[in-house]
């Protein structure tokens, strides 16, 4: 299930469940190599300056197969991020798709997993322009159940402002961009919250530290526009499509902070998080403080989609690994 309705024993219920379990192999620069041999020099440009782009994909284990959700779109967005960052990827999106499948099969992963492709500037010098520097690529895959361990999240409004296009483009998954999200997430965690909601430079709602946000009010779904300094989430797009199939109207518009306090339902969407219900904002309950009906219906539809039980007219969204 994408939205877990029970807590994990022995874990801090407010913590993200993101520990990594090593697998046998990593795909790196055109070859499948043992995990411990996939190394980069300490002076790798991306390590010092954040000059890399990445993606996150989910694989879902079923009795019959391992299903990767919207693989094509994720690798296409990786290339788009590289173009925005002026990083020339040494591999096409199709080549990386094939490498991803090769890696999953080499590791014989058949359970729920997370897949992390990255394209980054390698070792050469310390010139910020990285002109003529080598560009490397790698894909890591490992078992992964869920990002949040709670059935409903307690979130806060971050004191950190979401970065915006005039500073560094949020629509690209650039490694360095995520320092902005790290600040917000750590602040939230230290103050006892599960996640942070960031406002943009005009004070409107942007997104979580790693998720898009949806507001339910009087039977309507609202989500911030692309100009609200958000990532154009693939899960966000999936939810908008599913909402239409279920007869829910979705409006993309600016959302004020106060609307989060008066919402009937709130939920976050992201590859790692799936659909994650929010039950309080700044310690104020969202409506009754429980998971809402629309959130549940969308979660059920999303679960059916990623597990290959129902396509909703999108047969090409699920890739069978075996």
Please indicate whether residue 173 is annotated as part of the active site.
yes
The continuous run of DSSP H or E covering 276 comes out as: strand 274-281
How many CA atoms within 13 Å lie on the side-chain side of 157?
A: 15
Q: Alpha-carbon distance 308 to 302, whole Å? A: 10
Backbone φ and ψ of 187, nearest 5°: -60, -45
Catalytic one among 22, 39, 173, 217? 173
For residue 151, give the nearest of 300, 5, 303 by alpha carbon.
5
Specify whether the CB–CB gap between 142 and 111 falls below 8 A: no
**Is 286 buried (19+), middle (13-18) or exposed (0-12) by CB count in 10 A?**
buried
**Which residues have a Cβ under 8 Å from the Cβ of 252 and sit 6 or more positions away?**
222, 223, 224, 225, 226
Q: Alpha-carbon distance 214 to 182, whole Å? A: 21
Show which residues are catalytic.
173
């Amino acid at each position: 299930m994408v939205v877990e309705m029970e807590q994990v024993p022995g874990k801090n219920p407010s913590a993200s469940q993101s520990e990594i379990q090593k697998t046998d192999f990593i795909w790196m620069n055109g070859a499948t190599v043992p995990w411990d041999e996939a190394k980069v020099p300490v002076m790798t440009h991306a390590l010092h300056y954040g000059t890399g782009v990445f993606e996150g994909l989910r694989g879902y284990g079923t009795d019959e197969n391992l299903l990767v959700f919207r693989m094509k779109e994720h690798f296409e967005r990786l290339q788009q991020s590289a173009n925005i960052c002026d990083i020339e990827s040494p591999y096409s999106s199709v080549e990386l798709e094939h490498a991803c499948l090769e890696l999953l099969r080499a590791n014989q992963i058949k359970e729920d997993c997370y897949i992390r492709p990255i394209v980054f500037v390698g070792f050469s010098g310390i010139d910020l322009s990285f002109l003529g520097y080598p560009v490397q690529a790698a894909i890591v895959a490992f078992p992964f159940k869920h990002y949040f361990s709670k059935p409903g999240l307690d979130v806060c409004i971050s004191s950190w402002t979401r970065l915006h296009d005039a500073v560094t483009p949020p629509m690209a998954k650039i490694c360095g961009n995520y320092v902005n999200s790290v600040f917000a997430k750590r602040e939230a965690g230290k103050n006892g919250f599960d996640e942070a909601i960031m406002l943009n430079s005009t004070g409107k709602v942007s997104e979580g530290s790693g998720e898009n946000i949806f507001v339910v009010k009087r039977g309507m779904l609202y989500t911030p526009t692309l100009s609200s300094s958000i990532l154009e989430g693939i899960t966000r797009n999936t939810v908008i499509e599913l909402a239409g199939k279920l007869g829910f109207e979705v409006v993309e518009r600016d959302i004020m902070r106060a609307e989060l306090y008066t919402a009937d339902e709130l939920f976050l969407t992201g590859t790692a998080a799936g659909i994650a219900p929010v039950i309080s904002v700044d310690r104020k309950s969202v409506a009754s403080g429980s998971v809402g009906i629309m959130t549940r219906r969308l979660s059920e539809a999303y679960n059916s989609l990623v597990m290959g039980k129902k396509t909703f007219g999108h047969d090409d969204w699920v890739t069978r690994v075996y």
